[in-house]
Amino acid sequence: MKLSTSGNLPMLGQTHGNRSAVTCHLKCDSACASPPPNTSSEPTFAEIAAGQLSRRALLIGGGALAATAVAPALMPEFAAATEGRRAPGERKVSGRFPFDPIAPVEATKDALTVPPGFEWTSILRWGDPLFHNSPAFDPEHPNAEAQELQFGYNNDYLDIIVTDKAGRQALLVCNHEYTNRAIMFPPTGSQAAEAEVLRTLMAAHGLSVVELRRGGKGKPWKYVRGGEKNNRITAYSLFAATGPAAGSELLKTAADPTGKRISGTFGNCAGGTTPWGTVLSGEENFNGYFKADPAAPGSARYGLKNTPSTYGWEKIDPRFDATTPDYANEPHRFGWIVEVDPQDPTATPRKHTAMGRMKHEGANVRVDDDGTVVAYMGDDEQFDYLYKFVAKKKYKKGDSAAARRHNLTLLTEGDLYVARFSGQQKPGNDNLGRGTWVPLTQNGKSAVPGMSIDEVLVFTRLAADKMKATPMDRCEDVEPNPRTGKVYVACTNNSNRGVEGKPGTDAPNPRPKNKDGHIIELTEHKNAADATTFDWNLFLVCGNPDDAGTYFGGWDGPVSPISCPDNVAFDTTGNLWISTDGAPSGIGKADGLFRVPVTGRERGHLVQFLAVPNEAETCGPVIHDLDGSVFVAVQHPGEDGAWGDQHSYFPDYVPEGSRPDRGDWRGPRPSVIQVTYK
Ligand code: FEO
Ligand code: CA
Ligand code: CA
């Protein structure tokens, strides 16, 4: 049977940008199909860049770029771990984690594909009971109290933090970005039952912290039901606001006159684990959860609309109707970086206003030897910006309680910068540009004329517009390489780049109608985290390698096709791993996980490690190469809800006929999986 997608879902089968219509509708309120909220492109920059662009296009087309690309010094560790050139699928790729790359997988394949010699198992699936008193998974009877005690839906950011020397204990931390009511639960007949469904969806958002155990290194992990540190954070857990805008008039509501106590988190996309052991999570597409006045300050710039919200929570909770005076500021309480301490389930999670408000993809911290702490952040919207936060205080080394207490304050104070790229070239480097980190705040005060510090932090997009930041092709993960300090910026795609009436191509966003995305490699001046200028070059211009204009770090041998880079991670040798979201509409293949060296002879030699099932996106890669394990969060498998002959029951599907009481209805379960040697 074809599942009825009741409610306000769009027609199935359409696509917006690079995703299915259902994913776009649920995840980002079909942002790519709407006019981009940034209408403040900087015309002078496009002109400056034009000269460089035509030259780059020529170089890429002629294959000359490889010869002129920057070639960082060969790192000894990496040199030992690499071999000569080879094509995907031809021979084993060596290194500390050898595997035979897989060939591209058809987008309709309803299975997870891993290299030969590997196997995968799930660690946690939506609905798995986390506590001793958790009810068993029962999607026939949606129940918010039960869901609060179970693993949430649509896992995104993921980390597996090993907590003992023997490697037998770990904490799994995971975001639950959004929900898909139509494929989670069967239709209900009554308003009361539908209200409980809405509450259950709220409980399926947020984050999970779950203890893991295993028999020893290299063995698969299992989760511990009732683990002491197990925790669920939902769309109605209590958060504390920190930083200059905490307590601001702009954050006060009828329910919270302090402007410091915020209920819940949602739209939690990617994130990062800090050196002090906490997890940062980005509140991304918060706008789709509100009905709001688009004429209110900042509203339109953040995509807020005066229509029923995508999720309908305003039907059960008045704070989601921001058209009322009581809750006009409620949308301002979302769009932050949140910090969660997985070691302490009793700690109140925090929202850091010093890091700005945007559609935060995530945040990744770099700490220099002198203790300087910065966090890199992308605002994932067409033509939005790249940011850096520089903490005021220095990192304290060690595990002492005092060091830990201190480090927990690092993200509450500091300065926020936005990136302005320039096409200026260094002599002799055709593939290199310059850039400036433009301050939005300085010494805790506004650096933006005409805006107060509260306004800069709450309406960060408007502040960055004023300072003429460079509009980007949707910055997703922005992550420093722990071995080199170079920062990798995944620009996932931008179907509107260069379209009439929209900003044109420029040096850091060189492709019109950029459906496959690219990755920028950024080097801070003197490799200092808090530098105010940087050099940059294009590391990858993704797509089918046969297509003109694609570029793979100067590698001129065969590579795997790749489209829509989203989350990135590094292994212990400093190789970049890239997970993708949107490849079916880009290169016409399933999304997956890829590995590419960034230094040495094999720089740019990109190969595919796994592919996710039908309609899923690959999230949260975690690479434990020394341990022979790779983890990914498989998000929104079977999203379009096309059942019948096109079952998407990954990864723990209900076998046909095993639940006769459910009739034809059954849904997929987003899951965290581990890939290990057989
Ligand atoms: Fe939730 Fe930017 O992807
Ligand atoms: Ca994405
Ligand atoms: Ca993402």
Confidence grade of residue 78 (pLDDT, cut at 50, 70, 90): very low
As beta bridge partners, residue 367 has 373
In whole angstroms, give the CA distance from residue 519 to residue 565: 8
From the CA of 591, the nearest ligand is 2
Confidence check: pLDDT of 13 > 60: no
Confidence check: pLDDT of 641 > 80: no
More reliable by pLDDT, 181 or 233: 233
Task: Give the closest residue (by CA) to ligand 1 atom 1.
Answer: 269
Amino acid in position 542: C
In whole angstroms, give the CA distance from residue 507 to residue 484: 24
- What are the pLDDT digits (tens) for 252-280? 999 999 999 999 999 999 999 999 999 99
| DSSP structural state of residue 503 | -
16-25, 165-174, 339-348: which has the minimum mean pLDDT?
16-25
More reliable by pLDDT, 23 or 373: 373
In whole angstroms, give the CA distance from residue 444 to residue 426: 34
- What are the pLDDT digits (tens) for 276-323? 999 999 999 999 999 999 999 999 999 999 999 999 999 999 999 999
From the CA of 267, the nearest ligand is 1
What DSSP line would sit under 377-446, residue for residue?
A: EEB-SEEE-EEEEEESSPPPPSS-HHHHHHHTTGGGSEEEEEEEEE----TT-TT-EEEEEEESEETTEE
With b for 16 or more beta-carbon neighbours within 10 A and e for fewer, the 307-323 pattern comes to eebbbbbbeebbbbbbe
Q: How far is the CA of 133 from the centre of ligand 3 (A)?
A: 32
In whole angstroms, give the CA distance from residue 278 to residue 540: 31
Tell me if 492 sits within 8 A of 485, measured CB to CB: no
Residue 410 has φ and ψ, to the nearest 5°, of -60, -35
Q: How far is the CA of 133 from the centre of ligand 2 (A)?
A: 35
Question: How many CA within 13 A on the CB side of residue 1?
Answer: 12
Closest ligand 1 atom number to CA of residue 361: 2
pLDDT at 263: 98
Pairing of strands 433-439, 414-422: antiparallel
Closest ligand 1 atom number to CA of residue 476: 2
Work out the mean pLDDT of the chain and round it to a whole number. 86
Angle at 190 between CA 184 and CA 195, to 5 degrees: 60
Percent of the chain with pLDDT over 70: 84
- What are the pLDDT digits (tens) for 593-607? 999 999 999 999 999
Q: Using a 6 Å CB cutoff, which residues line ligand 1?
A: 177, 269, 284, 361, 380, 476
pLDDT at 91: 39
Closest ligand 1 atom number to CA of residue 380: 2
In whole angstroms, give the CA distance from residue 345 to residue 341: 7
From the CA of 565, the nearest ligand is 2
Q: How far is the CA of 619 from the centre of ligand 3 (A)?
A: 7
- What are the pLDDT digits (tens) for 416-458? 999 999 976 555 555 679 999 999 999 999 999 999 999 999 9
Confidence grade of residue 656 (pLDDT, cut at 50, 70, 90): very low
- What are the pLDDT digits (tens) for 27-73? 888 887 777 888 764 433 333 233 333 323 322 322 222 222 222 22
What DSSP line would sit under 237-261, residue for residue?
A: SEEEEESTTTT-GGG--SS-TTS-E
Pairing of strands 337-340, 364-367: unpaired
296's CB contacts (< 8 A; 6+ apart) are 304, 322, 328
Q: How far is the CA of 16 from the centre of ligand 2 (A)?
A: 13
Confidence check: pLDDT of 661 > 50: no
Q: Which residues surround ligand 2, an ion (CB under 5 A)?
A: 566, 581
448's CB contacts (< 8 A; 6+ apart) are 440, 456, 463, 466, 467
Q: How far is the CA of 409 from the centre of ligand 1 (A)?
A: 27
pLDDT at 423: 78
